[in-house]
Amino acid sequence: MNNTHVVSSEALSRLHLFRYWRAGEFQIIIDGQPVTITCSAGSNESPTVAENLCAAKAERVQLIIDGAIERESNYEKPVREEITHEIDEYNIVTRNRYGALVLNSSSVSIFDIDDYKRSFWEAIGFGAKKDKKTAIVEHLRGIFAKHRQRDTSWRIYETCKGIRMIMVGQYLSPSSQSFEQFSREINADPLYTMLCARQSCYRARLTPKPHRLHIDRLKFTCPLPDDVEGKYDEWLANYQDQSKNYTVCRLLEVLGTRISEDPIIDFHDRVCCSDISLPLA
């Protein structure tokens, strides 16, 4: 994967992503005693602006403790992830908290479904036991038949623990009511749905989860402290090497007749499901 575009600061901010991250230690006073705290902040302008925002955060913490101002009730945490690839204004690849690459997209609708809706009798242990992934796909087929639109199709992928579905020819804004309703209807993972709504974009993991490769999870946060870069580079090289032996998903079927001509979907397929013979992770 190579950078093909320099994304504007406005586009990054819209996705709650930052190009520059800085962290620093600051001393505040609590009950007359000095206490050291760590503040981090991101900026799309420059590293200097990020450093200044760290200091401003520490000052704000002191003001809150002193009772001079109130804590913001609607404060939203930015996505604290390293930007690795800037594809276009609507699609950014980041490395998440445990080290996997993630596509952040505000142009393609992507849903993760980890389970199917069980009937009352199934929930209490009656009836034939269904294969989870098969049941999810059957449920999606029924919904697609009900919602079928002429110029849309749904791409259904198998993942390690469930199903991923990508819409072709239709985009649902994660901040819309239709997104919430549709997510409930297909039984999309609630945590995934919440993260998409908060970030105002869809997220698709492109590389395996480390524990499925039998290696330790990444324990460093963004921004990386100066003294761990060597360890980080060593971990990353091992992770990338082991990732070659696994795939994230494989295409099972396509509902509808519209052919995908979206370069982002092509990118997704090329990166995370190019070799269907590999085990899922």
The pLDDT assigned to 2 comes to 52
Which structure tokens are listed for 175? 């901040």
Tell me the C-alpha distance between 102 and 1, whole Å. 13
Please tell me the least confidently modeled range out of 81-90, 128-137, 181-190. 128-137
Give the amino acid at 23.
Answer: A
Reported as a single tens digit per residue, the pLDDT across 67-112 is 998 887 666 678 899 999 999 999 999 999 999 999 999 999 999 9
Which residue is associated with the tokens 């206490």? 35
Which structure tokens are listed for 272? 């995370």
**DSSP states along 139-181:** HHHHHHHHH--TT-EEEEEEESSSEEEEEES----TTSHHHHH
Mean residue pLDDT of the chain comes to 91
Sign of CA dihedral 262, 268, 274, 280: negative
Helix (H, G, I), strand (E, B) or coil at 206: coil
Of 224, 183, 214, which is closest to residue 21 (Cα–Cα)? 224
- Alpha-carbon dihedral angle through residues 49, 53, 220, 105, given to the nearest 10 degrees: -70
